[in-house]
Amino acid sequence: MTNLLFPTDFSNHTTTALNWVRLFAHKTNAIITLLHVYQPMIPDTTLPTVGDPGLGVMASQEIEDISRQQLGKLATQLQAEGLSVEVEWRIGSVDDGILDSAHERSADLIVMGRSELNTFFDRLAGSAVSSVTDDAQCPVLIVPTTPEGKSVRPVQVHTIAYAMQAQTTQAQVTLQTESLVKAFDAELLVLTEDQLKDAHVDLIVMQLYPQSGFLDSLLHPNHTSALIEKSEVPVLVYHEKK
């Protein structure tokens, strides 16, 4: 693992996920790429204009400047901690920007925070997490946080649970966990879905399988979305090679 991609909007749930980025970077000596994707508001030209329309342009530029400053400040902070950091600022769709950056940089891991989906903006962020998890070509780590932006569980990896599914082979389990177990000197448990509910672990690892149709969804239901939305434990999602 040499390149960690950390998309941030500087909100509480991404700040909490940053602690997991620190942990993985320290353990693997990976380079951290801090990414902010600025998605500008598109004005509705069918509505009447009140006041100076140029004020909206000025406000948008100010938001852009602030986000660039925050990104640079965060990079400086992490570099002072002895971590290798690069920064990237993009404009456009959040999920597309994350996926494009991950592809262009050949990211080994994307780390994203996930809060409880209570408000419109929370649901928007949650949608980006789900889209990136579904479409990324590299593994994605989803970190749950409380509504106040605190970690649900301690930032540590002593015990890893692999979520065994009907399609999973032992070779996949080994491939996807061997380096993690070694890096964190962790214990590995291979568990079924039912066993996961009562397991006391620090990290869940699972494979995302694409579904080919309705019958496939019945025979092999995709539990990734449920884990992303409900798990109090960070979930590391792998994808089948395309």
23 with 141, same domain: the answer is yes
Q: How far apart are CA 161 and CA 107, in angstroms?
A: 23
176 pLDDT more than 60: yes
Ranges assigned E (strand) in 26-116: 31-38, 85-91, 109-114
Whole-prediction pTM value?
0.83
Residue 222, in any domain of the structure = yes
- Looking at every residue in the chain, the average pLDDT score rounds to 82
Residue 223, in any domain of the structure = yes
pLDDT (tens digit per residue) in 132-170: 888 899 999 999 887 776 777 889 999 999 998 888 899
Q: Which residue segment(s) compose the domain that 167 sits in? A: 156-242
Q: What's 110's domain CATH number?
A: 3.40.50.620
Last residue of a domain, one of 151, 168, 194: 151
Amino acid symbol at 170? Q
